[in-house]
Each structure stands twice: as structure tokens, then as C-alpha cells.
Amino acid sequence: MHVDPSNEVLATTTFAGDHAEWIDGVVMPVVWKRRHGKGRVFYSSLGHIASEFKVPEMANIFRRGANWAAR
């Protein structure tokens, strides 16, 4: 994912290359935030399935990000 340099990256993942060797070691943002004019944008690629929200850290970052964007 191409990330705008003005995004504040909050979490990343590092690919192991198990399925595609050319991405081995690639670090990619999975959670970021930014301001857009007077607005706020929060992005998270976490939470593809509902059970992921049972992980306290994942639910916390999503809740905090949504609250920040809603201000």
C-alpha cells in the first residue's frame, strides 16, 4: 500500500514471505491517521472477521481511532 507521507502510522505488519517470497521482510502500515483539511481520517485494515474484535488490543485501537476521528 502506498502511504501518504503525512499519514501518522500507528501500527505495521511485517510479511514473512511464506506465500510470496518477494514480500519477505516488507513492512506495511495497517493502522494510520491523518488530518484532511478540518476533518480527520482514521484507517485500519484490522478486523476482517468479527472475532478479531475480541482481541482487546485490536478493539482498543479501533475504538480510540474512531473516537479521535469523530471529534
Which position has the grid cell 480527520?
A: 40
Sheet strands side by side (includes 8-14): 8-14, 27-36, 39-44
Mean pLDDT for 47-69 is 94
Is the pLDDT score of 36 beyond 90?
yes
How many domains does the structure of the chain reveal? 1
Q: What is the pLDDT of residue 3?
A: 75
The pair phi, psi for residue 9, each rounded to 5°, is -75, 125
pLDDT given at position 47: 87
pTM of the model: 0.82
d(CA 71, CA 69): 6
CA distance 25 to 15: 5
pLDDT of 1 over the 80 cut:
no
Residue 51 domain-assigned (yes or no): yes
* Residue 20: inside a domain: yes
Domain presence at residue 1: no
The domain in which residue 60 lies consists of 8-70
